[in-house]
Amino acid sequence: MNQTPRVLVVDDETAIHRFLTPALMANDYAVLKAVTGAEALKRIATDAPDIVVLDLGLPDIDGKEVIRRVREWSDVPIVVLSARDREAEKIEALDYGADDFVNKPFGVGELMARLRAALRHRMHRRGETPVARVHGVEIDVARRRVLREGEDVKLTPKEFDLLALLTRHAGKVITHKQILSVVWGPAHEHDTQYLRVYVGQLRQKIEADPSSPAIILTESGVGYRLADTED
Amino acid sequence: MGLTDKPRASPEALLALANREGRGRLKIFLGAAPGVGKTYAMLQAARVAAQEGTDVAVGLAETHGRRETELLLEGLRILPRTSVPYRGRMVQEFDLDAALKCRPELILVDEYAHTNAAGSRHPKRWQDIEELLDAGINVWTTLNIQHLESLNDVVQRITRVRVRETVPDANFDKADEIVLVDLPPDELLKRLAEGKVYVQDTAARAVDNFFRPNNLVALRELALRRAAARIDSDLLERMQGGGVEGPWAAGERILVCVGPDETSSMVVRHAKRLADMIGAPFIAVTVEWPSSRFSEKQRHRVTEALQLAESLGADEVKTLVGTDLVDELLRYAKFENVTQIVVGRSRSSWLAELLGRSFPHQLIRAAEDIAIHVVTPVSTERRSVWQGLEWRSLSKKTSLAFLWSAVAVVLAIFVGRVIAAAVPLPNVSMVFLLAVFFSAVQFGIWPAVFASVLSFLGYNFFFIAPFYTLTVARPHELLALFIFLGVAVLSSAVAGRAREQGAAAASRARATRRLFEFARRLSSLAEPQTVADSTVAEVHRDLGLPAVILFPQGDDLVVTAAWPPEDQLGTATMTAARWAFERDEPAGAGTGTLPNVPWYFFPLRASHGRVGVIGIACGGKDGAELDAEERALFETLAELTATALERSQLAREIVVAKSATEAEKVRNTFLASISHDFRTPLASILGSATSLIEYRAKLPDAAKLDLLSQIKDEAEHLDGMVRNLLAMTRVEAGALELRRDWIDVRELLDRIVAFAKRRGAVQGFTVRTEDDLPFAPADQTLLDQAMTNVVGNAVRYGGPDAQIVVEARRVGDDLLISVADDGPGVAPDMLPHIFEKFMRGKDLGMADGGEGAGLGLAIAKGIVEAHGGTISADSHVIDGHGTRVTLRLPLGTGQTL
């Protein structure tokens, strides 16, 4: 990181800004503020922040709508702040193109980790990583090869597609719908049982302990994420 | 018989089989005459069944003291009979309830056609047996062929004995098995001679020639034929049920027209025999004029004949209403695709017969492509032409009619004189014709006849020479009298008919309109109770008889509405009502169930079942009976009512469901807002605390202090919310305890404003109080809370740029505290609701934040009211915007705490 990343915090609660600002500054972020959806859209357009922290419950425009409009012209990473009981809203936000989410109330450390992952992922997107390494597994997306402790792992084409998708978005939550739509096609968006079967098989093949997975992580009720890769 | 695996089973046949499922099976031991050994045969078969392990009980077996028959009874379970009081002595009858209670697999009940003693549940034993079958008990019974309804008059013709106890053919046809117990006539006669035959039917015994060989042969043939026909139809049914191709009915359909004369029952029986012969269904109808002048007796005959048709298994029994008998009948016949019509020959005079105007004649002339059977009576009851014209007492109205007729004739004399004076008229009698015609059209036949005679006399007296005398010089002068009389009769008949039709049409229109109005009235009623009330009133108004409606309540029926008011019905009446409700069929007077009860009950059928029973008092000692039209009206009213009741019940269910949904929604809103309201301060606390823990090294001191104070503020915020919730619970429970103290209002208001500012309120505040404001007797903590909520509300909804004015002053004995902001204000339709729980100003474009969970103002209201005060809100108080909430608290001057 050659310069101080700038983070835009969008929340209508002053209390949130009050504690997030010093915490972000302590982590070497430059902090921008917005309290409404309209203001957020304006600041993203004019100030071009490196990352956005967005509360879904905004007074004027719905947070999901903000994501939808931003995604029309910007791929700035967006981390959503959401309530635990609004699972559906969260998934929609991810489907609209949010990069990650943090449930309220949250520890600042967790938020910082998510922000780092999102920023890093954005870098990856710019300079494609040919090979990803995570917990002793090497995933070569271009050559369609997976090595575990140096040994070749045999994957079915679908298993590989699934793993490749997660790898390309390493560290980021991919919703069930997104995975199904990319790997199996849009007609299978709701067939989550495929996913459970294939994820189970993949874990058997690549995880050291499939019963407590360290590579393919479950985001309960939302989707899956590949653990942060070791660069 | 495999039903499911065979192809093309006729639906009717399968349906019939399905209907029998769960029903007991009926076996009839059929004999040609008493004494052929039916009971004996039945008991023998029962013994065999008992030995095979069937649970047999003898409900009733008439042994008539015959040894060999009594021996057969030994070893069989015999149910006790019940004693029924009948005409001063006790009669032994079959105990239906006992039989239903002990529920044997098979029960024997002798004498299918037996008539029960009056006061039993059913008038006929076959109805008892019907109930047993419904209860799933198999029944064996015995029957002599002469007791079969459709053969009743045939038997009468053969034996000259009228058999009064009959069984409907429909029941006989429904029997699952018929066993013919046959004994050649010679042997029967031998047994008779040996005294082995007990003839129960006193009428039959009285007539010696019942047991004549010829009769017995004929009866035996009837029995054999009937049994053979049964076998035929059984076969046919099985063929259809099994999907076997077979002979099908030729599409014939018979209609029998029932009239008010004596032959009607005979005509119905004839139709039934014809129907059986060609295997066609039959329909029975009667045609009524709304004003048809049937006597009580004639009405009764029609009803009887229709009931007979029903019991003989008529497909449909209907009363048609129309003005032209022939037209109406043929119209209906065409509608029902009838191929043959059966009518009786009577009801027409020799004159009509001669002119070809009798009913059968007219029918034959008008019918197209329909066969007409005319059944001739055995002995015709000839009515003279005069019989139909009823002498009525000279009521006031009729005497007026005669008076007017006389006036008309006098006028004719006068006019005749004037005309005769002016112009030479060949025949002045024309003028008198007018008078006669007038009387006939206006008043009917008798005043017209009266006018004819008067006219003749007047004409003779004034216009025929010798004048002013009443002499008939030449025979042709008498001619005038006959012409007058002729005109009188013909024109009064025509006018009478027109009047009758007009009246009929009017009464029909009236009836239709009333029904329509009634339906409309019912549709506007929401409550089942009001529907019931207005129905009984309508029934009473339309039919002039007491009416009652019963609704089910718990396990029983309860009188819900009655007119005239009544809340108790007799035990027997209640039994009939329950029967109608449980069995979904009419009961009581005029029906086959409990006909002694002076009420007719009809079930109120809705689409999902019965909603109650409607009853009308009839058939009692007062002799009020419903004719077909009244019954139809009553049943139509019942149907309308049932529909209305169902609708109102559904409406009620919707209301209940709606309020449940509403309550659910309130609860969900509450939970959602509570969880959100708790989450925001918790997020602040957690966020601040984790920042301090993880980055304390990197944070400047000022930031650390701010984070710590944020933790404190938010914790206080949470505390305030918890207090509000607790207060609300206490307000709700009415458990708000006041600890009054003297409160300095100025100090209170300043404190509240300072607190609001500390909580981040950026609005401008002004506090105004009168200098000599007295202390207020109030609960410090609670009033603090109320004011915090009211001010907090102004802060939340006034917007960041609002100016908030808090003011306190004394008005009379009250303290007025108002909090006004110049924010956007509250929508007028929301204003009355802002003190309700969970109301929040969502429309103001605020985030769904705020600590109150929509409880703030509700709590304030609760607290103020607990102090004996009031709280109110006005909107748009400053230049068309802003909101003001005013608390009015009694100062209680001169009062000590």
| Ordered domains of chain A (ranges, CATH) | 6-126 (3.40.50.2300), 131-226 (1.10.10.10)
Chain A interface with B: residues with Cβ < 8 Å: 12-16, 18-20, 22-23, 25-27, 57-60, 83, 85, 104-109, 112
Structure tokens at B154: 């045939």
Q: Which residue has the higher pLDDT, A98 or A143?
A: A98
CB pair distance less than 8 Å for B684 and A60:
no
Chain centre to alpha carbon of residue B410: 58
pLDDT (0 to 100) of residue B428: 75
For Cα atoms B331, B336, B341, give the angle at the middle one, nearest 5 degrees: 75
Is B248 exposed, middle or buried, given 0-12, 13-18 or 19+ CB atoms closer than 10 A? exposed
Q: Place A4 in a pLDDT band, splitting at 50, 70 and 90.
A: confident
State how beta strands A137-140 and A131-134 pair: antiparallel
**Quick check: B331 pLDDT over 90?**
no
Q: Are B564 and B545 in contact (CB under 8 A)?
A: no
**Quick check: B380 pLDDT over 80?**
no
**Quick check: B376 pLDDT over 50?**
yes
Of the candidates A26, A83, A112, the beta carbon closest to that of B679 is on A83
Tell me the β-bridge partners of A146: A139
Question: pLDDT tens for residues B239-256?
Answer: 554 444 433 444 678 899
**Average pLDDT of span B300-327:** 80
- One DSSP character per residue, B804-829 reads EEEEEEEETTEEEEEEEE-SS---TT
Of the candidates B675, B687, B710, the beta carbon closest to that of A106 is on B687
Chain B residues touching residue A18 (CB < 8 angstroms): 684, 688, 706-707, 710
Of the candidates B682, B691, B706, the beta carbon closest to that of A108 is on B691
Looking only at Cα atoms, what is the longest distance across chain A?
55
Tell the CATH topology of B733-890. Heat Shock Protein 90 (3.30.565)
Looking only at Cα atoms, what is the longest distance across chain B?
153
What Rg, from alpha-carbon coordinates, does chain A have? Answer: 18
Question: Where does chain A have alpha helices with state H?
Answer: 14-26, 37-47, 63-71, 87-96, 108-126, 157-168, 176-179, 192-206
Question: pLDDT tens for residues A35-92?
Answer: 899 999 999 999 889 999 999 888 788 888 999 999 888 889 999 988 766 778 888 8
CB pair distance less than 8 Å for B680 and A15:
yes
> Would an 8 Å CB–CB cutoff place B845 in contact with chain A?
yes
CB interface of B with A, residues 731-760, below 8 Å: 760
Tell the CATH topology of B11-241. Rossmann fold (3.40.50)
Of the candidates A19, A59, A106, the beta carbon closest to that of B707 is on A19
Q: Place B392 in a pLDDT band, splitting at 50, 70 and 90.
A: very low
Hey, is A190 helix, strand or coil? coil
**Average pLDDT of span B662-679:** 73
Hey, is B38 helix, strand or coil? helix
CATH code of the domain made up of B525-649: 3.30.450.40
pLDDT (0 to 100) of residue B486: 84
Nearest to A216 by CA among A164, A178, A152, A140: A164
Q: Are B25 and B176 in contact (CB under 8 A)?
A: yes
Dihedral of CA atoms B662, B663, B667, B669 in degrees, nearest 10, equals 20
Residues near B584 by Cβ (< 8 Å), separated by ≥ 6?
Answer: B603, B605, B610
Residues near A77 by Cβ (< 8 Å), separated by ≥ 6?
Answer: A50, A51, A52, A99, A100, A118, A119, A121, A122
Place of tokens 């027109």: B498
pLDDT (0 to 100) of residue B66: 76
Domain spanning B254-375: CATH superfamily: HUPs (3.40.50.620)
Chain A residues touching residue B844 (CB < 8 angstroms): none
Question: pLDDT tens for residues B605-633?
Answer: 888 788 899 999 887 655 567 777 778 88
Amino acid at B469: T
Of the candidates B682, B710, B846, the beta carbon closest to that of A18 is on B710
CA distance B426 to B28: 84
Chain B residues touching residue A114 (CB < 8 angstroms): none
Dihedral of CA atoms A91, A93, A94, A95 in degrees, nearest 10, equals 90
Portion of chain A with pLDDT greater than 90, in percent = 18
Of the candidates A15, A18, A23, the beta carbon closest to that of B695 is on A23
Amino acid at B452: S
Nearest to B883 by CA among B804, B787, B778: B804
Quickly count: other Cβ atoms within 10 Å of residue B507's Cβ: 14
pLDDT (0 to 100) of residue B15: 58
Structure tokens at A145: 């090869």
Structure tokens at B857: 């103002």
Question: pLDDT tens for residues A112-162?
Answer: 988 988 888 776 665 555 678 888 888 888 888 898 888 888 889 888 889
Q: Are B320 and B288 in contact (CB under 8 A)?
A: yes
Tell me the β-bridge partners of A137: A134, A148
Q: Are B415 and B431 in contact (CB under 8 A)?
A: yes
CB pair distance less than 8 Å for A83 and B845:
no
Chain A residues touching residue B843 (CB < 8 angstroms): none
Tell me how close the Cα of B703 comes to any Cα of chain A, in angstroms.
6
Portion of chain B with pLDDT greater than 70, in percent = 84
pLDDT (0 to 100) of residue B432: 81
| Residue B466 preceded by cis peptide, ω within 30 | yes
CB pair distance less than 8 Å for B684 and A19:
yes
**If residue B256 lies in a helix (H) or strand (E), which one and from where to where?**
strand B254-257
Residue of chain A with shortest Cα separation from B671: A85
**For chain B, which residues make up each domain, given as ranges?**
11-241, 254-375, 402-437+444-464+475-524, 525-649, 733-890
Structure tokens at B150: 């459709």
CA distance B451 to B447: 6
Is B854 exposed, middle or buried, given 0-12, 13-18 or 19+ CB atoms closer than 10 A? buried
Portion of chain B with pLDDT greater than 90, in percent = 4
Chain centre to alpha carbon of residue B389: 40
Residues near B692 by Cβ (< 8 Å), separated by ≥ 6?
Answer: B699, B704, B707, B708
Residues near B716 by Cβ (< 8 Å), separated by ≥ 6?
Answer: none
Q: Measured between alpha carbons, how far is residue B553 from residues B550, B558, B560, B612 in Å?
A: 9, 6, 10, 10
Question: pLDDT tens for residues B213-223?
Answer: 778 888 888 88
CA distance B691 to B696: 7
CA distance B638 to B613: 9
Of the candidates A14, A20, A60, the beta carbon closest to that of B760 is on A14
CA distance B789 to B787: 5
CA distance A58 to A86: 14
Question: Where does B135-184 have alpha helices with state H?
Answer: 152-159, 169-174
pLDDT (0 to 100) of residue B258: 85
pLDDT (0 to 100) of residue B384: 38
Structure tokens at B846: 């605020």
Q: Are B124 and B592 in contact (CB under 8 A)?
A: yes
pLDDT (0 to 100) of residue B844: 40
Residues near B847 by Cβ (< 8 Å), separated by ≥ 6?
Answer: A12, A13, A57, A58, A59
pLDDT (0 to 100) of residue A171: 78
Q: Measured between alpha carbons, how far is residue B239 from residues B25, B35, B176, B226, B229 in Å?
A: 20, 36, 16, 20, 15
Q: Are B859 and B727 in contact (CB under 8 A)?
A: yes
Nearest to B172 by CA among B63, B272, B39, B78: B272
**Quick check: B18 pLDDT over 80?**
no
Q: Place B417 in a pLDDT band, splitting at 50, 70 and 90.
A: confident
CB pair distance less than 8 Å for B695 and A104:
no
CB pair distance less than 8 Å for B707 and A22:
yes
CA distance B168 to B148: 7
| Residue B681 preceded by cis peptide, ω within 30 | no
**Average pLDDT of span B456-474:** 77
- One DSSP character per residue, A68-102 reads HHHHTT----EEEEEETT-HHHHHHHHHHT--EEE
Q: Place B822 in a pLDDT band, splitting at 50, 70 and 90.
A: confident
- One DSSP character per residue, B588-647 reads ETTSSSSTTSSEEEEEEEETTEEEEEEEEE-SSTT-----HHHHHHHHHHHHHHHHHHHH
Tell me how close the Cα of A58 comes to any Cα of chain B, in angstroms.
6
Chain B residues touching residue A107 (CB < 8 angstroms): 686-687, 690
**Mean pLDDT (chain B, rounded):** 79
pLDDT (0 to 100) of residue B366: 84
Q: Are A52 and A79 in contact (CB under 8 A)?
A: yes
Tell me the β-bridge partners of A86: none
> Would an 8 Å CB–CB cutoff place B699 in contact with chain A?
yes
Question: pLDDT tens for residues B829-843?
Answer: 777 778 876 665 543
pLDDT (0 to 100) of residue A43: 92
> Would an 8 Å CB–CB cutoff place B800 in contact with chain A?
no
B254-375 and B525-649, same CATH topology? no
CB pairs A-B closer than 8 Å:
88
Mutation target for B interface from A108, A110, A114: give the one with most B CBs within 10 A: A108
